[in-house]
Amino acid sequence: MSRILICGLGMMAGAWVRCLNRAEHTLIGYDVDPVVRQAALAEKWVDSVIATFPEEKVTVDVIVLAMPVDGIITTLHTLQHLHVPATTLVTDIGSVKQPVMAAAEPLIAQGVPFVGGHPMVGSEHNGWQASSLVELSNQPYFTVASAETAPAVARLQALLQAKPKFVAISAAAHDALMAQLSHAPHVVASALVNATRLPPQQLQLAAGGFRDTTRIAMADPLVWAAICTTNKTAIAAQVQMVQTELAQFQALLALDEPQQLAAWFKQAQTRRQELEEC
């Protein structure tokens, strides 16, 4: 029976754990919040919890880093100075990969297998309890590995009983892709909410268009601040693309030409329909 240390007991960690065959593993939970630790233990999401991160050596088979991206990077720096056996698989499930892989390099140089991971699931809800709202099975799960740690990907895949669709990718390609598909959309949703200066009683009149477009703006602000600061170059480039599109729309609006406006909307409609047809 393998021992798995889950660091960060949030929604994504819960979704990851739900993919395991629990009978084959002993789960140890770590979170900086004592309320979260005790709740996860009381609800039997984990078998035991620890209040402090190991300071000298690690005696588990797998370490899963499931905290916000800045916490993942900090923990990787900590692990470099501990005794981590070469038999211990270390992985993360953060949504930015270049700084994570850079932080993992000294650990990899010590012979510890590290696989950067990112399941493409999520929700605007937070916390371990919200993990029931997301399902990893049959969803894209990005893996980033160096030449030295590529064999560890097979070990990660074997761990997860509910099989995602694993996609091998480079860290740079991953972060550029996420800026377009995840990170900039979150920024735009938040900007739309911030630009809507209505009193609550009027805001409650919003129908599906506003609610669907801005749903993700309810996600954890600290998590998203960490994502944006660690993938800022790619996000800034994509936000600039959005600004260019909005400027084009404003120019077309000033021309008062319905046909050109319709063509602009048609382009978006066609691209969005491609997503439904996949």
Q: Give the mean pLDDT of the chain.
A: 92
- pLDDT band for 113, please (50, 70, 90 cuts): very high
If one compares 144 and 54, the residue with the highest pLDDT of the two is 144
Q: What is the mean pLDDT of residues 112-117?
A: 97
Q: Please tell me the predicted confidence (pLDDT) of residue 131.
A: 63
Q: Please tell me the predicted confidence (pLDDT) of residue 146.
A: 85
Residue from 167, 168, 163 nearest 146 by CA: 168
pLDDT above 60 for 133? no
Q: Please tell me the predicted confidence (pLDDT) of residue 142.
A: 97
Rounded CA-CA distance 212/59 in Å is 45
Q: What is the pTM of this model?
A: 0.92
pLDDT above 70 for 225? yes
Q: Please tell me the predicted confidence (pLDDT) of residue 147.
A: 84
pLDDT above 80 for 124? no
Q: What is the DSSP string of 102-154?
A: HHHHHHHHTT--EEEEEES---S--SGGGGGG---TTSEEEEE--TTTHHHHH
Residue from 107, 74, 116, 75 nearest 88 by CA: 107
Boundaries of every domain in the chain = 2-169, 174-277
Domain 174-277 in CATH: superfamily? 6-phosphogluconate dehydrogenase C-terminal like domain (1.10.3660.10)
Q: Please tell me the predicted confidence (pLDDT) of residue 34.
A: 94
Amino acid 117 reads G
Q: Please tell me the predicted confidence (pLDDT) of residue 130.
A: 63
Terminal CA-to-CA distance of the chain, rounded, Å?
39
Q: What is the pLDDT of residues 2-36, one digit of tens each?
A: 999 999 998 889 889 988 988 899 999 999 999 99
Q: Please tell me the predicted confidence (pLDDT) of residue 125.
A: 67
Order of strands across the sheet with 48-50?
A: 48-50, 25-30, 2-7, 62-65, 89-92, 114-119, 140-144, 165-168
Q: Class of 2-169 per CATH? A: alpha beta
Q: Please tell me the predicted confidence (pLDDT) of residue 278.
A: 72
Q: What is the mean pLDDT of residues 79-92?
A: 95
If one compares 44 and 1, the residue with the highest pLDDT of the two is 44
